[in-house]
Amino acid sequence: MNSRRLTFLFMPESAYGPTNNCIGIARVLTERGHRVVFAAEASWKGKLVELGFEEDLVDLAPPPEGEQEAGQFWKDFIRDTAPEFRKPTLEQLESLTKPIFEELVNGSKYCEPQLRAIIERNQPDVVIEDNVIAFPALVTADAPFVRIVSCNPLEVKGAAVPPPFSGYPADDDSTWDEYRAEYDRVHRDLWNQFNSWVQEQGAPALADLEFIHEGDLNLYVYPSEADYTDARPLGDTWHRIDSSVRETDDDPVIPQEFLDRPGELVYFSLGSLGSADVELMRRVIAALATTPYRIIVSKGPRHSEFELADNMWGAEFLPQTKIIPMCDLVITHGGNNTTVEALHFGKPMVLLPLFWDQYDNAQRMDELGFGIRLDPYRFTEAELVGALERLLGDAALRAKLDAMGEAIRGRDGLTRAADLIERIGLERKAAGTA
Which whole number is the average pLDDT over 303-313?
Answer: 88
Per-residue pLDDT of 372-397, as tens digits, reads: 999 999 999 999 999 999 999 999 99
Question: What is the gyration radius of the CA atoms in the chain, in angstroms?
Answer: 21
Range 357-375 average pLDDT: 97
Report the Cα–Cα distance between both ends of the chain, in Å, rounded: 19
**Across 207-212, average pLDDT:** 97
Instruction: State how far the Cα of 111 lies from the Cα of 117, in Å rounded to an integer.
Output: 10
pLDDT tens column, 284-307: 999 999 999 999 999 887 777 888
Judged by DSSP in three states, 317 sits in: coil
Question: Tell me, what amino acid is at 418?
Answer: A
**For the chain, how many helices (H) and strands (E)?**
15, 13
State the pLDDT at residue 71.
52
Side-chain half-sphere CA neighbours of 220 within 13 A:
22
Q: How confident is the model at residue 1 (pLDDT cuts 50, 70, 90)?
A: very low
Short-list 218, 249, 244, CA closest to 415: 244
In tens, the pLDDT along 26-56 reads: 999 999 999 999 999 988 899 999 989 999 9
**pTM for the model:** 0.92
Asked whether residue 401 carries a pLDDT value surpassing 60, the answer given is yes
Q: What is the mean pLDDT of the chain?
A: 92
What was the pLDDT predicted at 63?
A: 78
> What is residue 51's DSSP assignment?
G
- Dihedral pair phi/psi, residue 399, rounded to 5°: -70, -40
pLDDT at position 12 over 60: yes
> For residue 278, what pLDDT is reported?
84
Domains of the chain: 7-242+412-433 (3.40.50.2000), 256-410 (3.40.50.2000)
Res 70: pLDDT: 55
pLDDT tens digits, 77-98: 666 777 788 899 999 999 999 9
